[in-house]
Structure 1
Amino acid sequence: MNIRPAAVAGYFYPADAVELQTELGALIPPASATVSAPAPLRALIVPHAGYRYSGVIAGAAYACLSAGAFQRVLLLGPAHRVALRGIAIPSVAAFDTPLGAIALDRAGLDSLRALPFVQQRDDAHAKEHALEVQLPFLQRQLGAFTLLPLVVGDCEPEQVAMVIEQFADAKTLIVISTDLSHFHSDAEARVLDAETIAHIENAEPMLEPEQACGAMPLNGFLYFLNQHSHGDGARGKPQLLRAGNSAEYGGPADRVVGYASFCVH
């Protein structure tokens, strides 16, 4: 079977399966520690740095999941490694991690190839950490599932929303991978990230890459939420679970990266 091997195991997270499971157990709090659910969970917004920096913040979101809750995951993140216009899908049958291979929803991915802004580009996926670091969390919490991994480059929110629309159902979890501001002082980052968090909580698809490195997939998801708003307050809007930055976890205080995690019901 044609498989994308893990590219950042041993760097962003442990390469040893036992060590990885132990670390995941420490990063994900008990389900009782998460926010109450006003409606069924539909999506998570999570950071994608190394686990030592953003793992606790991501873990707060993954604690919302339970085994078997979803059969499929639509995972969208930014392109860090290649210049990309539109959305990139892989050609492989599975993505590997130290916890095992995850089968891709090949039929679902192939259905996207008819869209003019979707390309099949394995180079966009080969070294991309924004998607890969989410996979062990998902494996631990959900068990078996199929995966729709999408790397989003320069893309209109309406285009991303069109793709999300195609797969959004009760059996599919949507995961948006993004960090917040980059390389400001701790004090400056806290102000900037608070503003960005407010935009996300209000489902305002107006973010720039300077505010969130995953602005392209995130804006598309927020646009999708607006298209499906029920007009009943918090329902359908991202709910902040935890926020912080790399300085809190050992990084330099004069050059921080911001993180936040959200759930959407």
Structure 2
Amino acid sequence: MMLIYLLFFTLAALNNLQSQDMLSEEKSSYRPPTAAGSFYSNSRSELLSSINEYLNKEKPIISKEEEIIGIVVPHAGYVYSGWVAGFAYREIIGRKYDAIVLIGPSHITHFRGASIFDGDAYTSPLGASLIDKKLAGMIAENSESINISRKGHGWNGGRAEHSLEVQIPFLQVVQPNVPIVPIIIGSSNFESADELMLSLVKAIKESNKKVLLIASTDLSHFHNQEKACAIDQSLIEDFKKFDYFKLAKDLASSKKEACGSSALLTVMMAAEQLGGNLPLNLKHATSAESPYYPGDTNRVVGYLSGALLKSKNPFIELPNFSEEEQDLLKQIAQNSVRSKILRIKDSLPFKIENKNLNLNLPAFVTIRKKGALRACMGHTSTELPLYEEISHSAQVASTEDSRFGPIKKNELADLDFEITVLSRMKRVVELSQIQIARDGLYIRLGSYGGLFLPQVPVEQKWNLTEYLENLCYKAGLQKNDYLNPKAQLFSFRAFVID
């Protein structure tokens, strides 16, 4: 009797779904599967078969003791990227979540902020995924730029957005009956990602729900295989380092590509604020590598499956440099300044074979003359190996620090060098996250920005308020602008070599 009842219930639900599909956008509260028959099969049995094949190609690799807070998945047609998506989705099978927040880009219409679907469900040939309306409302009420609407989710009047819809069948298999919050971001920029992240984190913490975050994005588009892999691997390196700050800069300058860039940045930042400390690259491939429909190697799209964990073994941001390594870095700084000022060839070897010194880490070089500050310059992100970054920053500091002017030949004998190797930038959401002596700070508001190394508040004997106010002054802002909701505050840690 129970089996008959369940069968009847399933058939009734499917009949209801089919009737909903026929309704117009204005009359239906269930979003129909507009991509069925194109991005994935419109046959229930074929769709289930393909998803199960993608999920079962390999075994999960993440221990059940590790908490998965977020995943990154592609959104192309299943024959191209479904097998890549399977690498992330198989990892969440059997895990318990109270809700799933799906975030994707709008390929069709662009708008400010984000739009949460205002209906009751997203559907697929496998059934309906209901909306967690309470959580959706909590997210929307935290920001004026986040609305509950059909914008970005609509299906009448031509092409419909697919970036979230293609995730629904996977979720209905690996996380059945878990409610969702589908969010479309209307533009690709850090500000949109940051606003949504702040609202998400606040709502999730207040809800006391265990929430899975999903970023829907493809990577590079329409390069040849070799170039696409090079661009994508550079992005993946930033992902593996949790370096959304550098990633955002490179996406804005088109050094890296991801059509769902805002979704990716949002999920990375939100996952970190919710305890995430270990990003994993589960699989990267291109459309040309699909075992189901290999495409042209001269015009490919890149795909990533990734996970963001709360792990007992977090990502290590800075190495412990040995005394020998520290001495060599100081020598590089000194010789680089000397060669710049005297206009002679640098005596150091061009290539240094040392793992730590070849890490892509930003750095500042501080130059003092008889104990007084003479110059200090550096970068918040870099593509250079550390030893080259030190050399470049030292030379720039010696000639381009406008506060002091270029260093002269007769000063060289009186100079002392301090090197500060920086970790990645971490978004500060609450001032209680800042710890004096441990954290350097960077603030930006509009076109203004300023940075203090972690040594500065210690040397100046500032408390936290004084630290923040002086940071604002340095940035050319009013002293309380760190409290401005539009101000973006970042912290970083450092390894100081003096």
Question: Same fold, TM exceeding 0.5?
Answer: yes
| Rounded Cα–Cα distance in structure 1 between residues aligned with 2:99 and 2:271 | 19
Q: Once the two structures are superposed, what CA deviation does each residue of 1:190-232 show, in whole Å capped at 9, x if it has no partner? A: 1000000001111112231751111112112223345456xxx
Residue 98 of structure 1: aligned partner: 125
Q: Secondary structure at the match of 2:302?
A: strand
Residue 243 of structure 1: aligned partner: 284
Greater relative CO, 1 or 2 (CA 8 Å, sep 6+)? 1
Residue 195 of structure 2: aligned partner: 159
Distance 1:164 1:112, change over 3 A: closer
Match of 1:214 among 260, 272, 275: 260
Q: How does 1:53-68 map to 2 (within 5 A)?
A: 53-67=80-94
Q: Secondary structure at the match of 1:130?
A: coil
Shift of 1:89: 1.3
Contact persistence 1:78–1:130 (CA under 8 A): yes
| Rounded Cα–Cα distance in structure 2 between residues aligned with 1:239 and 1:53 | 22
Residue 48 of structure 1: aligned partner: 75
Q: Secondary structure at the match of 2:278?
A: coil
Give yes or no for the alignment of 1:189 onto 2:228: yes
Identity %: 30
CA RMSD of aligned residues (A): 2.0
Contact persistence 1:74–1:167 (CA under 8 A): no
TM-score by length of 2: 0.50
Give yes or no for the alignment of 1:108 onto 2:135: yes
Residue 121 of structure 1: aligned partner: 149
Residue 232 of structure 1: aligned partner: none
- Amino acid in the other structure paired with 2:216: S
Give yes or no for the alignment of 1:12 onto 2:12: no
Shift of 1:25: 0.8
Give yes or no for the alignment of 1:201 onto 2:201: no
Give yes or no for the alignment of 1:171 onto 2:171: no
Residue 260 of structure 1: aligned partner: 304
Q: How does 1:110-149 map to 2 (within 5 A)?
A: 110-114=137-141, 115-126=143-154, 127-149=160-182
Structure number with bigger Rg: 2
Contact persistence 2:89–2:170 (CA under 8 A): yes
TM-score by length of 1: 0.91
**Structure 2 regions of 5+ residues with no counterpart?**
1-27, 155-159, 310-498
Q: Secondary structure at the match of 2:110?
A: coil
- Amino acid in the other structure paired with 1:6: P
